[in-house]
Amino acid sequence: MRDAQPKRQTDIVLHTALLFLAVTLGALLQAAGPPWVRAIFEKVNFAGAGNASAVLLALAAAVAMHEAGHFFMAWACDFEILGAKLGPLRLERLHGMRKISVSWRGLFSCSVAAVPRSCAHWRGRMMLVVAAGPAATLAGFVAAVRVATSSDLGHWAGAFWSALTLFHFFLFVLGLIPNSESARIRNDARLFLELQRDGAAARELNLYHRLMQLRLAASRPCDYPTSLLSEAALSPGRPEANLLVARTHAEWALDSDDVAAADEWDRRALEQAERCDMRVRNSALAASGCFDILFRGDTVAALDKLQKVDFDALFPKYLAHRAKAAWLLASGRLAEVPAQVLRAQYALPLGLPYYDFERMLLGKLHLKALGVSEDTLVSAAAG
């Protein structure tokens, strides 16, 4: 946590500098640009509801087109699309499970989450996907200029296409400037530069994708390659990457009956989650709360964590039900636990090895609710 504040301050300084650059560039173009450029600037303003709606819609469209470039190139390069955000709408998907949610945070933000299905020609494919966003923005700028300079546009349409032209232009030009190496989220220019260098940042991203591919393949944790786990344990990275490493190790250790190692990795995961965004932190708290109940026997710690969890925001759905079952156990509401366990089991995909591990965790929760220890169950079966 010590280095989080300096990184935030660096990001703020950089974003302020980019904003100042954009304003300065806009002022120069408006003052000294060709007549058609000045005409476009004159149509963009917030005077009246119509103009304001045109500008805001143009902003959303410019950002959406940029992300569409990433999306279609990822699809073309055989990436698994795990999710997408378009304004307030968010879509998540994994192993046939889907969730659509609405969040008013980052109203005009768009993003695409995708992981390559294989690492063949990984760096080249990644560079294509990264470059596709700016390429789509540039293509959008050329198209918007042609429409915006037409003479038969109405007032609202003229304002919209003029604003879209400007947003495409500034997104493309400013997007060519790499942000800080320590920024929490690298922009396209920084990411492309790191991939081109093929240095530590590229290796970290490659490792992150290889770990994610284990989840895409739905491998059972005890079958995770030990060589990959050893490499991941020695590779320092960003909080999100470190969190994935810790959670992968924790699941592997649990499925390999090494509770002590799982305990250590769960604590590391929670530490890294504190430096991640709210959605990631929410899932880490849910997983750690379940661990408290099942393996630490610490209902106080579990209740403290699970009371902070937004169950509705959890994905996949089985995780939400498993976390609710753990919360009910910690709260002493044992009679309500079996229903949540059954709902979680019903939500699990069939025929994929990973979900046998999830069924094992759900079985332990059910036994806890019934007040039956596994040793007692084994003795009864033996007798």
Residue 207 placed within a domain = yes
Query: What's this model's pTM, rounded to 2 decimal places?
Result: 0.85
Q: Are residues 108 and 205 in the same domain?
A: no
Q: Are residues 83 and 199 in the same domain?
A: no
Please tell me the predicted confidence (pLDDT) of residue 185.
Answer: 80
Residue 117 placed within a domain = yes
Apex CA 168: angle with CA 165 and CA 174, to 5°? 135
Which segments of the chain have a pLDDT < 70? Answer: 1-47, 106-108, 151, 372-383
Residue 21 placed within a domain = no
Report phi then psi at 3, rounded to 5. -90, 0
Q: Domain of 260?
A: 187-276
Q: Are residues 144 and 265 in the same domain?
A: no
Apex CA 315: angle with CA 66 and CA 191, to 5°? 35
Q: Are residues 126 and 204 in the same domain?
A: no
Could you tell me the CA-to-CA distances from 228 to 157, 210, 285, 325 in Å, in that order?
54, 8, 25, 32
Query: Going by DSSP bridges, is the β-strand pair 97-102/110-116 parallel, antiparallel, or unpaired?
Result: unpaired
Q: Are residues 148 and 73 in the same domain?
A: yes
Q: Are residues 234 and 317 in the same domain?
A: no
Please tell me the predicted confidence (pLDDT) of residue 2.
Answer: 39
Q: For residue 142, count other CB atoms closer than 10 A to its CB.
A: 10
Please write the tens of the pLDDT for every residue from 67-105.
999 999 999 999 999 999 888 889 999 999 999 988 777
Enumerate the H helices of the chain as residue ranges: 4-32, 35-43, 49-76, 122-148, 155-175, 188-197, 200-216, 226-233, 239-255, 259-273, 278-291, 299-306, 317-330, 337-347, 354-370, 374-382
What's the total number of domains in the chain? 3
Please tell me the predicted confidence (pLDDT) of residue 323.
Answer: 97
Q: Are residues 195 and 239 in the same domain?
A: yes
Q: Are residues 246 and 137 in the same domain?
A: no
Residue 260 placed within a domain = yes
Please tell me the predicted confidence (pLDDT) of residue 9.
Answer: 54
Q: Are residues 68 and 152 in the same domain?
A: yes
Please tell me the predicted confidence (pLDDT) of residue 381.
Answer: 39
The domain boundary, picked from 132, 147, 176, lies at 176
The domain boundary, picked from 222, 250, 276, lies at 276
SS3 per-residue string spanning 90-118: EEEEECCEEEEEECCCCCCCEEEEEEECC
What does the CA dihedral 212, 216, 222, 225 come to, rounded to 10 degrees?
A: -60
Residue 381 placed within a domain = no
Residue 119 placed within a domain = yes
Residue 253 placed within a domain = yes
As a whole number, the mean pLDDT across the chain is 86
Q: Are residues 38 and 172 in the same domain?
A: yes
Residue 115 placed within a domain = yes
Please tell me the predicted confidence (pLDDT) of residue 378.
Answer: 41
The domain boundary, picked from 237, 252, 276, lies at 276
- CB-based contacts of 75: which residues, under 8 Å, 6+ apart? 81
What whole-number distance in Å separates Cα of residue 285 and Cα of residue 310? 10
Q: Are residues 90 and 194 in the same domain?
A: no
Would you give the DSSP letter of residue 150?
-
Please tell me the predicted confidence (pLDDT) of residue 33.
Answer: 60
Q: Are residues 48 and 139 in the same domain?
A: yes
